[in-house]
Structure formats: structure tokens, C-alpha cells
């Protein structure tokens, strides 16, 4: 009797152990099957806008380089970078000691010459009186007239010299030629600067930037440039100021390409108005140029679209809980995230976001993910 009891207990223990092992194996198989199921996304309708995207540097439309017209030593700088300057505000002053000395000398030379001219006029008048009475010597009469004319000419020279010194003195005070923001101050008090001439640009002192309007200087790839036109609307954003967005316009397109890092690109300028916002010159900007748009079209995430060596497009459409089929699709417009599906899928169908291990109707050995583009995917 005891043997029978032990046998029954043994069978029960063996059965329970077998059931536990079976459950673990079954759960492992279920978990393995689930692990092989790739993530999916449903095909749904959405608006898609294709656009050309690039980056550039924002600069003022009007930026004036401030240079002195005369050479000299800087006595004082009245502004600093970032200051708002109004037209006529004093920006910088050069040392005026030598110029004031030149002014004083020129004024005294002018006074002396005025006295010499008065004397020459008196001498000539005396010769005129003597000549009228018949007592003048012709040579002395002619010499007196010549001396008076020379004194008059010399007076004009002295007047010009004085005006020249006064002009230099006025140019020793450098003022803002326009309203704007001060930037790029490159000099310090006490520094000797070179004045701008016809053969020398002179020392760059600073810049005055009119920030009512700005432009972004950017490059567009030669593949995309046929879609770009003058006055085309754009969107301007900044990574450093994510809350700012401006509507821009393409104001200039280069007529010929430029080589940048072994790429052929066309420089463009995008103009936009600040509308009271503070955007500093030299900041990096993002340019988005919309080129085409479709509304409420069937679409999927672009990473779910594959292509083979023949450039045929296809997806892995879900047909069951853990089954997928290779299905050709016709694609249309694409943005950076989604692509339009013209045929091959229905709304609500799911597609794999990565290549499944099991495909119902075979597969293509070599496939690549379709790339997001700024144009219609082909």
C-alpha cells in the first residue's frame, strides 16, 4: 500500500514539474515570437509639405564700416559694442592737440596775409594817384599792381589752408552716419590709426548695423536650385532662439555656382524684417523654402519605405499577428518625416518600421531604407 502511495505521489510531482517546464518553454516561445515582431505604424492621412532646408548666417541689410578720414591717435571711444547709436551721435574722438595748433597757425597766417593785402592795396592806390598826375614810373606802377594781385592770391591760399585744417579738425570727431547698433569695435584709446585714402582703406574702427531688416546668407545645393526663385517665401528660425520665427523672402540668387567642400552650391540671400525683435548680426539661422504641398493624403513614416537596386519602393505590410508581406508601393511627396503613399496601402494598414525576420511572400535580399528628401521621392 505504501508503495502505491509513493508511486502516485511521484507521478503527481513528475506531472507538475513537466507542466511547469512546458509553461516556461511555451512562454519563452511566445516571448521570442513577440521579440521578433518589429514596431509598426499605421498608414494615415496627413498634410505633407516638401521644402528645401539649409542654414546660413544672419547679417544686417545695411552695415556701415566706420573708418577715419584722417590719421591720428585715438583720444576717446564714446560707445561700446551693442550700443544703440543715432545718426550724428559721437562715436570716437581723435587727439586734437596738433590739429588745434595747426588751426591757430593757419588763423594767424591768414590774419598776416590780410594785412599784407591791405598794404599792397595802399601801395597800388598811391601809384594810381601818381600815375594820374603824371609823376609815376610805369615799372613801379605795374609792380604795385602785380604785388596787390599776388597778395590777393596768397590770401586765398591761406583761406584754403585754414579751411583744410578746420575740416581735419571736424573729422577728428567721428559720428554715426546712420541709426543702428554698434558692433566690431577693433581699436582702443591711445592707438594710432591710419586714415582712409584713395589708395588705402584705412583702419577699421567699428560697424554700425541697421537692424530694422536683415538677410541670411546661405547656400543651396545645385540639385535644389531649380525650385528656388526670386521673391519666393521662406521661413527663418534660430536654434539659439527657438521661440522666434520670421517670414522671409529670397532677395538674391547667385547666377553661377560656387564650390563648397566639393559640392556645387548657389549662394542666396533671404531678407526678413525684425519687427522689433532683437537678433544679433552673425547668428546662425535656419532657412526653410517650401516647394510643394499636398493635403490629407495617405502617408507613412519615411523610414518604413525600402528600395532595392532597381529603385523600386516597397514596405512590409502586416497581414497577421506576427506575419508581414513584401508589398510594392507608389510614393509621392515627402518631407523630412513622412512620405505620401499613392498606391499599395490602405488607410489603417500597418507597416513594419524595421525589416521583419519572417515575410509571407518572400523578400528581396538587398534593400535600403528610402531617404527623406525635399522633393517627391522617386
Q: Look at the pTM and tell me if it is higher than 0.85.
A: no
Contact 219, 250 (CB under 8 A): no
> What is the average pLDDT across 39-66?
91
100-112 pLDDT tens trace: 999 999 999 999 9
Q: Name the more confident of 371 and 47.
A: 47
Query: Quick one: fold of 40-50+294-369?
Result: 2.40.420
Q: Which residues contact 219 (CB under 8 A, 6 or more apart)?
A: 54, 56, 258, 260, 265, 266, 267, 268
Q: Which fold has domain 63-95+172-207?
A: OB fold (Dihydrolipoamide Acetyltransferase, E2P) (2.40.50)
Sequence ranges of the chain with CATH classification 2.40.420.20: 40-50+294-369
Percent of the chain with pLDDT over 70: 85
Q: Could you tell me where in the chain the CATH 2.40.50.100 domains are found?
A: 63-95+172-207
Is residue 74 within 8 A of residue 188, CB to CB? The reply is yes
- What is the C-alpha to C-alpha distance for residues 225 and 216, in angstroms, rounded to an integer? 16
Tell me what the mean pLDDT of segment 214-243 comes to.
92
**Average pLDDT of every residue of the chain:** 85
* 288 sits in which H/E element: strand 284-301
- For 97-171, CATH number? 1.10.287
List, for residues 137-172, the tens digit of each pLDDT value. Answer: 888 888 889 999 999 999 999 999 999 999 999 999
pLDDT of residue 299: 93
Domain 54-58+210-291 listed as CATH 3.30.70.100: no
152 CB-near residues (< 8 Å, 6+ apart): 117, 120
302-340 burial by CB neighbour count: b if 16+ within 10 A, else e? Answer: bbbbbbeeeeebbbbbbeeeeebbbbebebbbbbeebbb
Report the pLDDT value the prediction gives residue 32, as an integer from 0 to 100.
44
Amino acid at each position: 500500500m505504501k508503495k502505491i502511495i509513493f508511486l502516485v505521489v511521484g507521478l503527481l510531482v513528475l506531472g507538475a514539474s513537466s507542466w511547469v517546464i512546458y509553461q516556461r518553454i511555451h512562454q519563452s516561445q511566445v516571448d521570442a515570437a513577440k521579440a521578433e515582431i518589429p514596431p509598426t505604424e499605421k498608414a494615415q492621412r496627413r498634410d505633407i509639405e516638401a521644402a528645401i532646408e539649409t542654414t546660413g548666417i544672419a547679417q544686417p541689410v545695411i552695415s556701415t564700416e566706420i573708418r577715419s578720414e584722417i590719421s591720428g591717435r585715438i583720444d576717446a571711444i564714446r560707445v561700446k559694442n551693442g550700443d544703440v547709436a543715432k545718426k550724428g551721435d559721437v562715436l570716437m574722438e581723435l587727439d586734437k592737440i596738433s590739429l588745434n595748433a595747426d588751426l591757430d597757425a593757419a588763423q594767424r597766417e591768414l590774419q598776416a596775409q590780410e594785412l599784407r593785402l591791405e598794404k599792397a592795396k595802399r601801395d597800388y592806390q598811391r601809384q594810381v594817384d601818381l600815375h594820374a598826375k603824371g609823376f609815376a614810373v610805369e615799372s613801379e606802377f605795374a609792380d604795385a599792381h602785380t604785388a596787390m594781385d599776388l597778395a590777393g592770391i596768397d590770401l586765398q591760399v591761406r583761406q584754403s589752408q585754414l579751411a583744410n585744417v578746420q575740416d581735419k579738425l571736424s573729422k577728428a570727431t567721428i559720428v554715426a552716419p546712420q541709426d543702428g547698433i554698434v558692433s566690431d569695435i577693433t581699436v582702443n584709446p591711445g592707438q594710432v590709426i591710419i586714415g582712409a585714402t584713395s589708395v588705402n582703406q584705412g583702419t577699421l574702427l567699428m560697424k554700425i548695423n541697421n537692424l530694422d531688416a536683415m538677410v541670411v546668407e546661405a547656400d543651396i545645393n545645385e540639385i535644389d536650385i531649380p525650385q528656388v526663385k526670386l521673391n519666393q517665401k521662406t521661413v527663418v528660425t534660430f536654434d539659439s532662439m527657438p521661440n522666434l520665427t520670421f517670414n522671409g523672402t529670397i532677395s538674391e540668387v547667385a547666377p553661377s555656382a560656387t564650390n563648397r567642400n566639393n559640392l556645387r552650391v548657389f549662394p542666396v540671400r533671404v531678407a526678413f524684417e525684425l519687427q522689433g525683435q532683437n537678433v544679433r548680426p552673425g547668428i546662425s539661422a535656419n532657412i526653410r523654402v517650401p516647394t510643394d504641398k499636398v493635403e490629407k493624403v495617405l502617408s507613412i513614416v519615411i523610414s518604413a519605405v525600402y528600395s532595392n537596386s532597381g529603385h523600386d519602393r516597397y514596405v512590409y505590410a502586416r497581414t497577421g499577428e506576427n506575419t508581414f508581406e513584401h508589398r510594392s508601393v507608389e510614393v509621392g511627396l515627402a518631407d523630412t518625416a513622412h512620405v505620401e503613399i499613392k498606391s499599395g496601402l490602405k488607410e489603417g494598414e500597418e507597416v513594419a518600421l524595421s525589416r521583419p525576420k519572417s515575410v509571407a511572400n518572400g523578400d528581396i535580399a538587398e534593400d535600403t531604407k528610402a531617404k527623406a528628401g525635399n522633393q517627391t521621392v522617386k
